[in-house]
Structure 1
Amino acid sequence: MDLSLRLELDCLYSNIESSIALLTSALMKDCVVDKYCVYKVEKKRGARVVEQITSMRSAADVFSDFECISPDNSKETSIYPGYFALKQDGPIDEISSIVSLINDNKRALKSFLDKHNRPKEVHLSSGPQVKLNPLMFEAHPMKNPNQIFRELKMFNSKARMLHMKWTRKQRYDKHSIDSALRIIAYNFDKPPVLKYSTSQWQMILTELKAHLECLPVSTEIKRIKPAPSIPQIGVKFEGSASWSKFHGSLPLIFTTDGSLNVTAGLSDLMNEMVIDNEKLLELGWVPLNEELGFYLRT
Protein backbone atom coordinates (compact mmCIF):
# COMPACT_ATOMS: atom_id res chain seq x y z
CA MET A 1 0.00 0.00 0.00
CA ASP A 2 1.24 3.47 -0.84
CA LEU A 3 2.45 5.27 2.30
CA SER A 4 0.29 8.36 1.68
CA LEU A 5 -2.80 6.17 1.36
CA ARG A 6 -1.92 4.35 4.56
CA LEU A 7 -1.49 7.61 6.46
CA GLU A 8 -4.82 8.96 5.21
CA LEU A 9 -6.60 5.70 6.01
CA ASP A 10 -5.17 5.62 9.53
CA CYS A 11 -6.21 9.24 10.09
CA LEU A 12 -9.79 8.55 8.95
CA TYR A 13 -9.97 5.40 11.08
CA SER A 14 -8.56 7.27 14.09
CA ASN A 15 -11.27 9.93 13.66
CA ILE A 16 -13.92 7.25 14.04
CA GLU A 17 -12.32 5.83 17.16
CA SER A 18 -11.89 9.30 18.71
CA SER A 19 -15.50 10.34 18.08
CA ILE A 20 -16.81 7.06 19.51
CA ALA A 21 -14.66 7.63 22.60
CA LEU A 22 -16.44 10.99 23.00
CA LEU A 23 -19.81 9.22 22.86
CA THR A 24 -18.76 6.59 25.40
CA SER A 25 -17.54 9.29 27.76
CA ALA A 26 -20.79 11.26 27.36
CA LEU A 27 -22.98 8.23 28.04
CA MET A 28 -21.02 7.36 31.18
CA LYS A 29 -21.63 10.72 32.84
CA ASP A 30 -24.04 10.87 35.76
CA CYS A 31 -27.69 11.68 35.07
CA VAL A 32 -27.46 11.03 31.31
CA VAL A 33 -28.82 7.51 30.73
CA ASP A 34 -32.18 6.70 32.29
CA LYS A 35 -32.32 3.08 31.16
CA TYR A 36 -30.31 0.80 28.89
CA CYS A 37 -30.40 -2.75 27.63
CA VAL A 38 -27.84 -4.16 25.22
CA TYR A 39 -27.42 -7.75 24.03
CA LYS A 40 -24.49 -9.47 22.37
CA VAL A 41 -25.62 -11.97 19.71
CA GLU A 42 -23.30 -14.57 18.16
CA LYS A 43 -23.72 -17.66 16.03
CA LYS A 44 -22.84 -20.83 17.96
CA ARG A 45 -23.52 -24.41 16.90
CA GLY A 46 -26.47 -23.66 14.67
CA ALA A 47 -28.09 -21.16 17.01
CA ARG A 48 -28.09 -17.45 17.78
CA VAL A 49 -26.86 -17.16 21.33
CA VAL A 50 -27.98 -14.03 23.18
CA GLU A 51 -26.06 -12.62 26.13
CA GLN A 52 -27.27 -9.52 27.96
CA ILE A 53 -24.51 -7.04 28.75
CA THR A 54 -25.01 -6.04 32.35
CA SER A 55 -22.24 -3.47 32.79
CA MET A 56 -23.00 0.08 31.63
CA ARG A 57 -19.41 0.54 30.52
CA SER A 58 -19.37 -2.68 28.52
CA ALA A 59 -22.69 -1.75 26.92
CA ALA A 60 -21.32 1.63 25.84
CA ASP A 61 -18.15 -0.01 24.48
CA VAL A 62 -20.07 -2.02 21.86
CA PHE A 63 -20.05 0.99 19.52
CA SER A 64 -16.27 0.54 19.17
CA ASP A 65 -16.21 -3.23 18.63
CA PHE A 66 -14.86 -3.64 15.11
CA GLU A 67 -13.11 -6.97 15.59
CA CYS A 68 -13.59 -10.00 13.34
CA ILE A 69 -14.75 -13.04 15.25
CA SER A 70 -12.42 -15.25 13.22
CA PRO A 71 -9.45 -14.36 10.99
CA ASP A 72 -10.73 -16.89 8.44
CA ASN A 73 -14.13 -15.26 8.11
CA SER A 74 -14.18 -11.48 8.03
CA LYS A 75 -17.94 -11.45 7.37
CA GLU A 76 -18.83 -13.05 10.70
CA THR A 77 -19.54 -10.41 13.33
CA SER A 78 -21.20 -9.94 16.66
CA ILE A 79 -24.28 -7.76 16.66
CA TYR A 80 -25.59 -5.68 19.52
CA PRO A 81 -29.36 -5.10 19.55
CA GLY A 82 -30.54 -2.85 22.33
CA TYR A 83 -31.02 0.76 23.33
CA PHE A 84 -29.85 3.67 25.45
CA ALA A 85 -32.77 5.73 26.75
CA LEU A 86 -31.49 9.21 27.64
CA LYS A 87 -33.04 11.45 30.28
CA GLN A 88 -34.89 14.28 28.56
CA ASP A 89 -33.21 16.92 30.74
CA GLY A 90 -29.71 15.59 29.94
CA PRO A 91 -27.14 16.78 27.35
CA ILE A 92 -29.23 15.62 24.39
CA ASP A 93 -27.82 18.15 21.91
CA GLU A 94 -24.24 17.26 22.83
CA ILE A 95 -24.81 13.54 22.31
CA SER A 96 -26.74 14.17 19.08
CA SER A 97 -23.78 16.19 17.74
CA ILE A 98 -21.36 13.40 18.67
CA VAL A 99 -23.54 10.78 16.93
CA SER A 100 -23.62 12.95 13.80
CA LEU A 101 -19.83 13.31 13.96
CA ILE A 102 -19.37 9.55 14.26
CA ASN A 103 -21.59 8.88 11.25
CA ASP A 104 -19.81 11.59 9.21
CA ASN A 105 -16.45 10.00 10.06
CA LYS A 106 -17.73 6.55 9.06
CA ARG A 107 -18.96 7.91 5.71
CA ALA A 108 -15.62 9.64 5.11
CA LEU A 109 -13.71 6.37 5.56
CA LYS A 110 -16.15 4.50 3.35
CA SER A 111 -15.85 7.12 0.59
CA PHE A 112 -12.07 6.87 0.80
CA LEU A 113 -12.15 3.08 0.45
CA ASP A 114 -14.72 3.23 -2.35
CA LYS A 115 -12.39 5.57 -4.24
CA HIS A 116 -9.09 3.78 -3.73
CA ASN A 117 -9.92 0.11 -3.29
CA ARG A 118 -9.30 -2.45 -5.97
CA PRO A 119 -10.88 -5.89 -5.36
CA LYS A 120 -8.30 -8.59 -4.84
CA GLU A 121 -8.23 -12.26 -3.95
CA VAL A 122 -6.91 -13.21 -0.54
CA HIS A 123 -6.17 -16.89 0.18
CA LEU A 124 -7.17 -18.06 3.65
CA SER A 125 -7.35 -21.51 5.16
CA SER A 126 -11.00 -21.84 4.13
CA GLY A 127 -10.18 -21.13 0.48
CA PRO A 128 -9.98 -18.09 -1.76
CA GLN A 129 -12.19 -15.16 -0.87
CA VAL A 130 -12.60 -11.80 -2.57
CA LYS A 131 -12.05 -8.91 -0.20
CA LEU A 132 -14.05 -5.81 -1.04
CA ASN A 133 -11.92 -3.65 1.25
CA PRO A 134 -8.33 -4.82 0.65
CA LEU A 135 -6.80 -1.54 1.85
CA MET A 136 -8.55 -1.93 5.20
CA PHE A 137 -7.62 -5.61 5.29
CA GLU A 138 -3.94 -4.84 4.72
CA ALA A 139 -3.84 -2.00 7.25
CA HIS A 140 -6.02 -3.58 9.96
CA PRO A 141 -6.55 -7.28 9.13
CA MET A 142 -8.70 -8.06 12.17
CA LYS A 143 -11.06 -5.10 11.77
CA ASN A 144 -14.40 -5.82 10.16
CA PRO A 145 -15.61 -3.19 7.65
CA ASN A 146 -19.23 -4.26 8.14
CA GLN A 147 -18.93 -3.31 11.80
CA ILE A 148 -17.10 -0.07 11.13
CA PHE A 149 -19.61 1.25 8.60
CA ARG A 150 -22.75 0.56 10.66
CA GLU A 151 -24.15 3.98 11.38
CA LEU A 152 -25.60 4.92 14.74
CA LYS A 153 -29.29 5.82 15.02
CA MET A 154 -30.41 8.53 17.42
CA PHE A 155 -33.91 9.98 17.79
CA ASN A 156 -34.85 13.17 19.59
CA SER A 157 -38.46 12.00 19.97
CA LYS A 158 -39.37 10.46 23.32
CA ALA A 159 -39.96 6.70 23.27
CA ARG A 160 -43.00 5.37 25.13
CA MET A 161 -42.93 1.63 24.38
CA LEU A 162 -40.32 -0.82 23.09
CA HIS A 163 -40.13 -4.51 22.27
CA MET A 164 -37.51 -6.80 20.73
CA LYS A 165 -38.01 -9.98 18.74
CA TRP A 166 -36.49 -12.15 16.02
CA THR A 167 -37.77 -11.64 12.51
CA ARG A 168 -37.13 -13.43 9.22
CA LYS A 169 -38.41 -13.09 5.70
CA GLN A 170 -38.06 -15.66 2.96
CA ARG A 171 -36.96 -14.54 -0.47
CA TYR A 172 -39.11 -15.52 -3.44
CA ASP A 173 -36.99 -15.05 -6.58
CA LYS A 174 -38.31 -15.73 -10.09
CA HIS A 175 -36.09 -17.66 -12.52
CA SER A 176 -36.38 -18.80 -16.08
CA ILE A 177 -35.37 -22.32 -17.07
CA ASP A 178 -32.09 -20.94 -18.43
CA SER A 179 -31.38 -19.08 -15.18
CA ALA A 180 -32.15 -22.21 -13.12
CA LEU A 181 -29.77 -24.25 -15.27
CA ARG A 182 -27.00 -21.72 -14.62
CA ILE A 183 -27.60 -22.04 -10.87
CA ILE A 184 -27.35 -25.83 -11.20
CA ALA A 185 -24.06 -25.49 -13.10
CA TYR A 186 -22.66 -23.18 -10.44
CA ASN A 187 -23.61 -25.55 -7.61
CA PHE A 188 -22.66 -28.77 -9.42
CA ASP A 189 -19.49 -29.29 -7.37
CA LYS A 190 -20.84 -27.80 -4.14
CA PRO A 191 -22.79 -30.53 -2.27
CA PRO A 192 -24.54 -29.56 0.98
CA VAL A 193 -22.11 -30.23 3.81
CA LEU A 194 -22.54 -33.62 5.54
CA LYS A 195 -25.67 -34.40 3.54
CA TYR A 196 -24.48 -35.76 0.18
CA SER A 197 -21.22 -36.94 -1.29
CA THR A 198 -20.05 -35.10 -4.40
CA SER A 199 -21.09 -37.99 -6.63
CA GLN A 200 -24.56 -38.25 -5.04
CA TRP A 201 -25.09 -34.50 -5.36
CA GLN A 202 -23.98 -34.43 -8.98
CA MET A 203 -26.32 -37.30 -9.80
CA ILE A 204 -29.24 -35.41 -8.21
CA LEU A 205 -28.42 -32.24 -10.14
CA THR A 206 -27.97 -34.16 -13.39
CA GLU A 207 -31.47 -35.60 -13.01
CA LEU A 208 -32.84 -32.17 -12.08
CA LYS A 209 -31.18 -30.62 -15.13
CA ALA A 210 -32.72 -33.25 -17.42
CA HIS A 211 -36.15 -32.63 -15.86
CA LEU A 212 -35.92 -28.87 -16.33
CA GLU A 213 -34.83 -29.24 -19.94
CA CYS A 214 -38.06 -31.17 -20.63
CA LEU A 215 -40.26 -28.36 -19.29
CA PRO A 216 -41.67 -25.64 -21.57
CA VAL A 217 -39.19 -22.81 -22.09
CA SER A 218 -41.73 -20.35 -20.65
CA THR A 219 -41.86 -22.21 -17.30
CA GLU A 220 -41.19 -19.98 -14.31
CA ILE A 221 -39.12 -21.48 -11.49
CA LYS A 222 -39.49 -19.94 -8.07
CA ARG A 223 -36.44 -20.02 -5.82
CA ILE A 224 -37.57 -19.81 -2.22
CA LYS A 225 -34.58 -19.16 0.01
CA PRO A 226 -34.43 -18.13 3.67
CA ALA A 227 -33.03 -14.81 4.74
CA PRO A 228 -31.11 -14.80 8.04
CA SER A 229 -33.02 -14.33 11.25
CA ILE A 230 -32.29 -10.86 12.60
CA PRO A 231 -33.17 -9.05 15.83
CA GLN A 232 -35.82 -6.40 15.36
CA ILE A 233 -36.46 -3.51 17.73
CA GLY A 234 -39.91 -1.96 17.68
CA VAL A 235 -40.29 1.50 19.21
CA LYS A 236 -43.44 3.56 19.66
CA PHE A 237 -42.51 7.22 19.90
CA GLU A 238 -44.58 9.92 21.56
CA GLY A 239 -47.19 11.32 19.18
CA SER A 240 -47.20 8.24 16.95
CA ALA A 241 -49.79 5.48 17.02
CA SER A 242 -47.65 3.09 14.95
CA TRP A 243 -44.49 1.14 15.71
CA SER A 244 -41.15 2.12 14.14
CA LYS A 245 -39.08 -1.00 13.45
CA PHE A 246 -35.30 -1.24 13.24
CA HIS A 247 -32.75 -3.98 12.64
CA GLY A 248 -30.73 -4.44 15.79
CA SER A 249 -27.07 -4.35 14.72
CA LEU A 250 -26.21 -1.59 17.18
CA PRO A 251 -28.13 -0.07 20.12
CA LEU A 252 -30.58 2.72 19.34
CA ILE A 253 -30.29 6.02 21.20
CA PHE A 254 -33.39 8.02 22.08
CA THR A 255 -34.90 10.11 24.86
CA THR A 256 -37.46 9.14 27.47
CA ASP A 257 -39.39 10.88 30.23
CA GLY A 258 -38.70 7.93 32.53
CA SER A 259 -41.83 5.96 31.69
CA LEU A 260 -40.46 3.75 28.90
CA ASN A 261 -42.40 0.47 28.85
CA VAL A 262 -40.30 -2.45 27.56
CA THR A 263 -42.71 -5.26 26.72
CA ALA A 264 -40.29 -7.94 25.42
CA GLY A 265 -36.58 -8.63 25.44
CA LEU A 266 -34.50 -10.99 23.31
CA SER A 267 -33.78 -14.67 23.93
CA ASP A 268 -31.66 -17.35 22.25
CA LEU A 269 -32.80 -18.45 18.81
CA MET A 270 -32.46 -22.08 17.79
CA ASN A 271 -32.35 -22.75 14.06
CA GLU A 272 -35.66 -24.00 12.74
CA MET A 273 -36.75 -25.39 9.41
CA VAL A 274 -37.14 -22.20 7.44
CA ILE A 275 -38.86 -23.81 4.48
CA ASP A 276 -41.75 -25.95 5.69
CA ASN A 277 -42.60 -28.19 2.74
CA GLU A 278 -45.97 -29.20 4.16
CA LYS A 279 -47.09 -25.58 4.30
CA LEU A 280 -45.64 -24.89 0.87
CA LEU A 281 -47.49 -27.87 -0.58
CA GLU A 282 -50.72 -26.57 0.93
CA LEU A 283 -50.09 -23.32 -0.93
CA GLY A 284 -49.52 -25.18 -4.18
CA TRP A 285 -45.72 -25.17 -4.27
CA VAL A 286 -44.12 -28.40 -5.55
CA PRO A 287 -40.45 -28.87 -4.61
CA LEU A 288 -38.02 -29.57 -7.45
CA ASN A 289 -34.95 -29.41 -5.23
CA GLU A 290 -35.12 -28.31 -1.60
CA GLU A 291 -31.40 -27.66 -1.22
CA LEU A 292 -31.37 -25.20 -4.13
CA GLY A 293 -34.78 -23.86 -3.12
CA PHE A 294 -36.39 -24.67 -6.51
CA TYR A 295 -40.19 -24.87 -6.54
CA LEU A 296 -42.96 -24.94 -9.14
CA ARG A 297 -46.45 -23.55 -8.60
CA THR A 298 -49.19 -26.02 -9.48
Structure 2
Amino acid sequence: MGTGNGTTVQEFTLEGFPAVQHLGKVLFLVHLLAYLASITGNAVIVTITCADSRLQTPMYFFLSIFSFFECCFTSTIIPKLLVIFLLGRQTISFVACFIQGFVVLFLGAAGLLLMAVMSLDRYMAICKPLHYPTIMNLKNCILLVIACFVLSFTLITSLVVKVSQLSFCGPNVIPHFFCDLGPLIHLSCSDTRSVEIWAFVLALCVLLTSLIITITAYSKIIVTILHLPSAKERQKAFSTCSSHLIVLSLMYGSCIFIYVKPKQMSRLESNREAALVNTVVTPLLNPVIYTLRNKQVHQALRETMCRIKISR
Protein backbone atom coordinates (compact mmCIF):
# COMPACT_ATOMS: atom_id res chain seq x y z
CA MET A 1 0.00 0.00 0.00
CA GLY A 2 1.54 3.26 -1.07
CA THR A 3 1.58 6.29 1.19
CA GLY A 4 -0.11 9.53 0.27
CA ASN A 5 1.69 12.51 -1.27
CA GLY A 6 3.78 14.33 1.32
CA THR A 7 3.58 11.50 3.87
CA THR A 8 6.57 11.43 6.21
CA VAL A 9 5.09 9.26 8.96
CA GLN A 10 6.50 5.72 8.88
CA GLU A 11 4.76 4.45 12.00
CA PHE A 12 1.97 5.37 14.39
CA THR A 13 1.73 5.23 18.16
CA LEU A 14 -1.42 3.69 19.67
CA GLU A 15 -2.26 5.66 22.80
CA GLY A 16 -4.22 2.80 24.37
CA PHE A 17 -5.57 3.65 27.82
CA PRO A 18 -3.01 6.08 29.33
CA ALA A 19 -5.12 6.73 32.46
CA VAL A 20 -4.77 3.09 33.56
CA GLN A 21 -1.46 2.16 31.93
CA HIS A 22 0.10 1.78 35.42
CA LEU A 23 -2.18 -1.26 35.82
CA GLY A 24 -0.72 -2.79 32.68
CA LYS A 25 0.04 -6.27 34.05
CA VAL A 26 -3.37 -6.62 35.70
CA LEU A 27 -5.13 -5.41 32.55
CA PHE A 28 -2.97 -7.77 30.47
CA LEU A 29 -4.13 -10.75 32.54
CA VAL A 30 -7.80 -9.71 32.47
CA HIS A 31 -7.83 -9.14 28.71
CA LEU A 32 -5.80 -12.28 28.02
CA LEU A 33 -8.30 -14.43 29.93
CA ALA A 34 -11.22 -12.70 28.19
CA TYR A 35 -9.55 -13.20 24.80
CA LEU A 36 -8.84 -16.91 25.41
CA ALA A 37 -12.38 -17.47 26.70
CA SER A 38 -13.84 -15.68 23.66
CA ILE A 39 -11.72 -17.64 21.16
CA THR A 40 -12.48 -20.94 22.94
CA GLY A 41 -16.23 -20.32 23.16
CA ASN A 42 -16.59 -19.25 19.54
CA ALA A 43 -14.31 -22.07 18.32
CA VAL A 44 -16.47 -24.57 20.22
CA ILE A 45 -19.56 -23.28 18.40
CA VAL A 46 -17.87 -23.67 15.00
CA THR A 47 -16.56 -27.16 15.88
CA ILE A 48 -19.78 -28.69 17.21
CA THR A 49 -21.82 -27.16 14.38
CA CYS A 50 -19.57 -28.94 11.87
CA ALA A 51 -19.40 -32.16 13.91
CA ASP A 52 -23.07 -32.66 14.83
CA SER A 53 -25.52 -33.28 11.98
CA ARG A 54 -28.47 -32.06 14.09
CA LEU A 55 -26.92 -28.58 14.17
CA GLN A 56 -26.35 -28.40 10.44
CA THR A 57 -29.34 -26.12 9.89
CA PRO A 58 -29.44 -22.57 8.48
CA MET A 59 -29.65 -21.05 11.96
CA TYR A 60 -26.51 -22.80 13.23
CA PHE A 61 -24.74 -22.38 9.89
CA PHE A 62 -25.05 -18.61 10.22
CA LEU A 63 -24.09 -18.80 13.89
CA SER A 64 -20.92 -20.72 13.08
CA ILE A 65 -19.96 -18.17 10.41
CA PHE A 66 -20.65 -15.35 12.87
CA SER A 67 -18.53 -17.07 15.53
CA PHE A 68 -15.70 -17.42 13.00
CA PHE A 69 -16.01 -13.67 12.30
CA GLU A 70 -15.74 -12.99 16.01
CA CYS A 71 -12.58 -15.08 16.35
CA CYS A 72 -10.93 -13.21 13.47
CA PHE A 73 -12.18 -9.83 14.71
CA THR A 74 -10.81 -10.18 18.24
CA SER A 75 -7.56 -11.71 16.97
CA THR A 76 -6.99 -8.61 14.83
CA ILE A 77 -7.18 -6.24 17.82
CA ILE A 78 -6.56 -7.92 21.17
CA PRO A 79 -3.00 -9.32 20.66
CA LYS A 80 -1.66 -5.82 20.00
CA LEU A 81 -3.59 -4.48 23.02
CA LEU A 82 -2.00 -7.21 25.16
CA VAL A 83 1.47 -6.13 23.98
CA ILE A 84 0.65 -2.52 24.91
CA PHE A 85 -0.48 -3.54 28.40
CA LEU A 86 2.40 -5.92 29.11
CA LEU A 87 5.40 -4.37 27.33
CA GLY A 88 4.27 -0.83 26.64
CA ARG A 89 5.09 -1.23 22.93
CA GLN A 90 2.61 1.13 21.34
CA THR A 91 4.12 1.65 17.89
CA ILE A 92 2.68 0.11 14.73
CA SER A 93 4.00 0.51 11.19
CA PHE A 94 2.15 2.57 8.60
CA VAL A 95 1.22 -0.46 6.47
CA ALA A 96 0.30 -2.66 9.48
CA CYS A 97 -1.95 0.10 10.79
CA PHE A 98 -3.91 0.31 7.55
CA ILE A 99 -4.15 -3.47 7.29
CA GLN A 100 -5.52 -3.65 10.84
CA GLY A 101 -7.98 -0.83 10.14
CA PHE A 102 -9.20 -2.55 6.97
CA VAL A 103 -9.64 -5.98 8.58
CA VAL A 104 -11.45 -4.55 11.62
CA LEU A 105 -13.93 -2.55 9.52
CA PHE A 106 -14.35 -5.33 6.94
CA LEU A 107 -15.19 -7.95 9.57
CA GLY A 108 -17.32 -5.48 11.52
CA ALA A 109 -19.41 -4.52 8.48
CA ALA A 110 -19.70 -8.15 7.34
CA GLY A 111 -20.80 -9.11 10.86
CA LEU A 112 -23.55 -6.48 10.91
CA LEU A 113 -24.82 -7.58 7.50
CA LEU A 114 -24.73 -11.20 8.66
CA MET A 115 -26.81 -10.26 11.72
CA ALA A 116 -29.42 -8.87 9.33
CA VAL A 117 -29.35 -12.15 7.38
CA MET A 118 -29.82 -14.05 10.65
CA SER A 119 -32.86 -11.89 11.37
CA LEU A 120 -34.29 -12.86 7.99
CA ASP A 121 -33.60 -16.51 8.80
CA ARG A 122 -35.60 -16.22 12.05
CA TYR A 123 -38.38 -14.41 10.15
CA MET A 124 -38.63 -17.22 7.59
CA ALA A 125 -38.53 -19.93 10.28
CA ILE A 126 -41.30 -18.36 12.41
CA CYS A 127 -43.46 -16.50 9.90
CA LYS A 128 -43.08 -18.74 6.80
CA PRO A 129 -42.40 -22.23 8.23
CA LEU A 130 -43.80 -24.08 5.20
CA HIS A 131 -41.51 -22.26 2.76
CA TYR A 132 -38.51 -22.20 5.10
CA PRO A 133 -36.82 -25.48 4.01
CA THR A 134 -37.12 -24.56 0.33
CA ILE A 135 -35.95 -20.95 0.55
CA MET A 136 -33.26 -21.31 3.24
CA ASN A 137 -31.44 -24.22 1.64
CA LEU A 138 -27.66 -24.62 1.85
CA LYS A 139 -27.02 -23.00 -1.54
CA ASN A 140 -28.98 -19.86 -0.66
CA CYS A 141 -27.36 -19.68 2.79
CA ILE A 142 -23.89 -19.78 1.23
CA LEU A 143 -24.89 -17.12 -1.33
CA LEU A 144 -26.14 -14.84 1.46
CA VAL A 145 -22.86 -15.17 3.35
CA ILE A 146 -20.86 -14.49 0.16
CA ALA A 147 -23.03 -11.40 -0.46
CA CYS A 148 -22.16 -10.11 3.03
CA PHE A 149 -18.45 -10.66 2.31
CA VAL A 150 -18.50 -9.02 -1.12
CA LEU A 151 -20.56 -5.98 -0.09
CA SER A 152 -18.45 -5.38 3.01
CA PHE A 153 -15.18 -5.84 1.10
CA THR A 154 -16.25 -3.43 -1.65
CA LEU A 155 -17.42 -0.68 0.69
CA ILE A 156 -14.52 -0.86 3.15
CA THR A 157 -11.89 -1.14 0.40
CA SER A 158 -13.17 2.08 -1.15
CA LEU A 159 -12.82 3.86 2.20
CA VAL A 160 -9.36 2.47 3.06
CA VAL A 161 -8.03 3.41 -0.40
CA LYS A 162 -9.26 6.99 0.10
CA VAL A 163 -7.66 7.21 3.55
CA SER A 164 -4.36 5.72 2.31
CA GLN A 165 -4.14 8.49 -0.28
CA LEU A 166 -4.10 11.18 2.43
CA SER A 167 -0.83 12.74 3.57
CA PHE A 168 0.46 12.07 7.09
CA CYS A 169 3.20 14.42 8.21
CA GLY A 170 2.69 14.37 11.99
CA PRO A 171 1.52 14.05 14.71
CA ASN A 172 1.43 10.26 14.68
CA VAL A 173 -0.30 9.39 17.97
CA ILE A 174 -3.65 7.63 17.44
CA PRO A 175 -5.92 8.26 20.46
CA HIS A 176 -7.21 4.69 20.44
CA PHE A 177 -6.07 1.14 21.22
CA PHE A 178 -6.20 0.01 17.58
CA CYS A 179 -6.00 1.63 14.14
CA ASP A 180 -9.56 2.84 13.82
CA LEU A 181 -9.84 4.86 10.62
CA GLY A 182 -11.89 7.63 12.28
CA PRO A 183 -9.12 8.91 14.59
CA LEU A 184 -6.54 8.09 11.90
CA ILE A 185 -8.20 10.44 9.39
CA HIS A 186 -7.83 13.34 11.83
CA LEU A 187 -4.05 12.87 11.95
CA SER A 188 -3.77 13.67 8.25
CA CYS A 189 -2.37 17.01 7.11
CA SER A 190 -4.56 16.81 3.97
CA ASP A 191 -8.06 18.18 3.54
CA THR A 192 -10.12 15.34 5.02
CA ARG A 193 -13.66 16.69 4.61
CA SER A 194 -14.58 14.49 1.65
CA VAL A 195 -13.10 11.37 3.30
CA GLU A 196 -14.94 12.10 6.57
CA ILE A 197 -18.23 12.49 4.70
CA TRP A 198 -17.60 9.23 2.78
CA ALA A 199 -16.78 7.38 6.02
CA PHE A 200 -19.92 8.74 7.67
CA VAL A 201 -22.10 7.80 4.68
CA LEU A 202 -20.67 4.26 4.54
CA ALA A 203 -21.17 3.73 8.28
CA LEU A 204 -24.70 5.05 8.02
CA CYS A 205 -25.51 2.87 5.00
CA VAL A 206 -24.20 -0.36 6.57
CA LEU A 207 -25.85 0.28 9.94
CA LEU A 208 -29.16 1.50 8.51
CA THR A 209 -29.40 -1.34 5.98
CA SER A 210 -28.77 -3.92 8.68
CA LEU A 211 -30.99 -2.14 11.21
CA ILE A 212 -33.95 -1.68 8.83
CA ILE A 213 -33.86 -5.34 7.76
CA THR A 214 -33.63 -6.44 11.41
CA ILE A 215 -36.42 -4.16 12.67
CA THR A 216 -38.72 -5.14 9.78
CA ALA A 217 -38.06 -8.86 10.32
CA TYR A 218 -38.58 -8.71 14.09
CA SER A 219 -41.69 -6.54 13.82
CA LYS A 220 -43.30 -9.28 11.74
CA ILE A 221 -41.91 -11.97 14.06
CA ILE A 222 -43.47 -10.28 17.12
CA VAL A 223 -46.85 -9.97 15.39
CA THR A 224 -46.71 -13.66 14.41
CA ILE A 225 -45.71 -14.75 17.93
CA LEU A 226 -48.53 -12.76 19.53
CA HIS A 227 -51.03 -14.55 17.29
CA LEU A 228 -49.84 -18.04 18.25
CA PRO A 229 -52.64 -19.97 20.01
CA SER A 230 -50.83 -21.20 23.13
CA ALA A 231 -48.51 -19.59 25.65
CA LYS A 232 -46.07 -22.51 25.30
CA GLU A 233 -45.73 -21.93 21.56
CA ARG A 234 -45.22 -18.19 22.12
CA GLN A 235 -42.53 -18.84 24.72
CA LYS A 236 -40.73 -21.35 22.49
CA ALA A 237 -40.80 -18.99 19.49
CA PHE A 238 -39.56 -16.04 21.54
CA SER A 239 -36.76 -18.08 23.15
CA THR A 240 -35.23 -18.75 19.71
CA CYS A 241 -34.97 -14.98 19.14
CA SER A 242 -34.16 -13.57 22.59
CA SER A 243 -30.41 -14.25 22.46
CA HIS A 244 -30.18 -12.79 18.97
CA LEU A 245 -31.89 -9.61 20.20
CA ILE A 246 -29.44 -9.24 23.11
CA VAL A 247 -26.42 -9.54 20.80
CA LEU A 248 -28.03 -7.15 18.31
CA SER A 249 -28.55 -4.55 21.04
CA LEU A 250 -24.90 -4.72 22.11
CA MET A 251 -23.56 -4.54 18.55
CA TYR A 252 -25.83 -1.84 17.17
CA GLY A 253 -25.61 0.28 20.30
CA SER A 254 -21.81 0.41 20.37
CA CYS A 255 -21.43 0.78 16.57
CA ILE A 256 -23.93 3.63 16.30
CA PHE A 257 -22.25 5.37 19.24
CA ILE A 258 -18.79 5.06 17.67
CA TYR A 259 -19.29 5.52 13.94
CA VAL A 260 -22.50 7.42 13.14
CA LYS A 261 -21.09 10.82 14.04
CA PRO A 262 -19.77 13.31 11.49
CA LYS A 263 -16.99 14.34 13.89
CA GLN A 264 -15.16 11.23 14.96
CA MET A 265 -12.85 13.05 17.39
CA SER A 266 -15.62 13.98 19.80
CA ARG A 267 -15.79 12.07 23.09
CA LEU A 268 -12.76 9.89 22.35
CA GLU A 269 -12.68 8.31 25.78
CA SER A 270 -16.29 7.18 25.41
CA ASN A 271 -15.48 5.89 21.90
CA ARG A 272 -12.69 3.75 23.30
CA GLU A 273 -14.95 2.31 25.98
CA ALA A 274 -17.66 1.51 23.43
CA ALA A 275 -15.06 -0.07 21.13
CA LEU A 276 -13.83 -2.17 24.05
CA VAL A 277 -17.36 -3.53 24.46
CA ASN A 278 -17.37 -4.50 20.78
CA THR A 279 -13.93 -6.09 20.79
CA VAL A 280 -13.81 -7.79 24.20
CA VAL A 281 -17.19 -7.98 25.94
CA THR A 282 -19.52 -8.87 23.04
CA PRO A 283 -17.34 -11.68 21.56
CA LEU A 284 -16.95 -13.08 25.08
CA LEU A 285 -20.69 -13.04 25.82
CA ASN A 286 -21.84 -14.30 22.41
CA PRO A 287 -21.12 -18.00 23.00
CA VAL A 288 -22.90 -17.82 26.36
CA ILE A 289 -26.02 -15.79 25.53
CA TYR A 290 -26.37 -16.91 21.94
CA THR A 291 -25.91 -20.65 21.72
CA LEU A 292 -24.27 -22.33 24.68
CA ARG A 293 -27.42 -21.91 26.77
CA ASN A 294 -29.35 -23.72 24.04
CA LYS A 295 -30.35 -27.27 25.12
CA GLN A 296 -29.67 -28.68 21.67
CA VAL A 297 -26.14 -27.24 21.73
CA HIS A 298 -25.60 -28.53 25.28
CA GLN A 299 -26.54 -32.04 24.19
CA ALA A 300 -24.33 -31.88 21.10
CA LEU A 301 -21.43 -30.61 23.22
CA ARG A 302 -21.83 -33.41 25.78
CA GLU A 303 -21.93 -36.06 23.07
CA THR A 304 -18.87 -34.59 21.36
CA MET A 305 -16.94 -34.63 24.64
CA CYS A 306 -17.98 -38.24 25.21
CA ARG A 307 -16.75 -39.24 21.75
CA ILE A 308 -13.40 -37.54 22.44
CA LYS A 309 -13.01 -39.43 25.73
CA ILE A 310 -13.89 -42.75 24.10
CA SER A 311 -11.42 -42.16 21.24
CA ARG A 312 -8.65 -41.73 23.82
Q: Scaled by the length of structure 2, what TM-score is found?
A: 0.27
Structure with bigger helix share is: 2
Greater RCO, 1 or 2 (C-alpha within 8 Å, sep 6+): 2
